[in-house]
Structure 1
Amino acid sequence: MKSGVYITLAELMELNKDYIKTTVGGVMKKTAENVTIRAITEADRQEWLSLWQQYQHFYRAKITPEVTANTFSALCEGKDICGLVAVDGSNRLLGFMHIVYHASTWSDRDYCYIEDLFVDKSARGENVAEKLFDEAYRQAEARDCSRVYWMTQEFNSSARSLYDVIGKRTSFVIYMKN
């Protein structure tokens, strides 16, 4: 690793080159058929809102309707905050990923921060999250980002079982003040 702290995009892509053909936690995964990853659009609002509310419930978060509306607008605009969705053959939303591109004081290239990832219970275990990550990596590479990173809560063992395979855990501890 270049900085000794984060994994670079090139390292992340190398780690993942054979991942979808293998396993997570020693259990063979099903592959979601007819799943497409695309940018979120205004037409996705209602289904996204349902998934967004499930995501908030999981994390016991209460995000105001105003922030939710502003978030959705920014995701659809797709500049520094972008939204990806996974859809099935009927264009039903299976999950989403929210990405924030930002400058860094440690690089002359942007970083790609995956702020939110959620997959509907009905689509879990079918490589939907992995497909969202693959598209995020592709877009980060196209934008010449030097790093892709994300975080999760320590108790989120199902997400961590995936993240432990597709990424490298860092030694950083996050502090906050509201």
Structure 2
Amino acid sequence: MTTIAALTAADRDEWLRLWDGYLTFYEQVLPAAVTEDVFERLTAGAGIHGAIARDEHGHAVGLVHWLFHPSTWTRSAYCYLEDLYVAPDSRGGGVGRALIAHVRERAHVAGAAKVYWLTEETNITARTLYDQVADLTGFVHYETDMSE
């Protein structure tokens, strides 16, 4: 049985292992200072939220991060599910679905109008789940790098 709890400082090493797996999956490298800052904000209640999933043996098997932001299309906030990762050996067992449900419940309690997220078009494993729990909007994502 999967349990999900808010991230705490005591989860750092297990979270870091999952975070590193997530970054590797997306072929990203972040400076250590960014990773430290992310974990600090996740556990300090500084606008972003995080939770960790554990299996029946208490091993960390997944993570999720989300934030709330105002919207011009509703009087309520939107909830952006920014990061979702399940360890490869735990995929297909309901962990991802449970993490999404956890965020949906937090968004409901907060009065958010919706929960939304992005994934790579080629992430077929995740999209198989997402197609079951959410609607594909058809929007195309653009961004511009401000560090240039």
State the TM-score, normalizing by the size of structure 2: 0.94
Amino acid at match of 1:152: T
CA distance in 2, matches of 1:97, 1:70: 16
CA distance in 2, matches of 1:108, 1:73: 30
Aligned CA RMSD, in angstroms, stands at: 1.0
Q: Give, in angstroms, the shift of residue 79 of structure 1.
A: 4.4
Residues 25-77 of structure 1 show CA distances to partners (whole Å, capped at 9, x for unaligned) of: xxxxxxxx2x1111011111011111111111111111111111111011112
Regions of 4+ moved over 6 Å = none
Q: Give, in angstroms, the shift of residue 119 of structure 1.
A: 0.4
The alignment covers a number of residue pairs equal to 145
Bigger shift: 149-158 or 102-111? 102-111
Q: Give, in angstroms, the shift of residue 107 of structure 1.
A: 1.3
Residues 101-121 of structure 1 show CA distances to partners (whole Å, capped at 9, x for unaligned) of: 111111111111000000011
Amino acid at match of 1:102: H
* Percent identity between the two aligned chains: 39
The answer for the alignment partner of 1:174 in structure 2 is 141
CA distance in 1, matches of 2:89, 2:30: 24
Q: Contact (CA 8 Å) 1:101, 1:111: kept in 2 or not?
A: yes
The answer for the alignment partner of 2:111 in structure 1 is 144
CA distance in 2, matches of 1:111, 1:151: 14
Q: Contact (CA 8 Å) 1:80, 1:102: kept in 2 or not?
A: no
The answer to whether structure 1 residue 164 and structure 2 residue 94 are counterparts is no
Bigger shift: 141-150 or 74-83? 74-83
The answer for the alignment partner of 2:120 in structure 1 is 153
CA distance in 2, matches of 1:133, 1:90: 21
The answer to whether structure 1 residue 56 and structure 2 residue 26 are counterparts is no
CA distance in 1, matches of 2:121, 2:134: 15
Q: Greater Rg, structure 1 or structure 2?
A: 1
Match of 1:116 among 83, 97, 104: 83
SS for the counterpart of 2:82 is strand
The answer for the alignment partner of 2:69 in structure 1 is 102
SS for the counterpart of 2:81 is strand
The answer for the alignment partner of 1:132 in structure 2 is 99
- Give the structure, 1 or 2, with the largest relative contact order (CA under 8 Å, sep 6 or more): 1
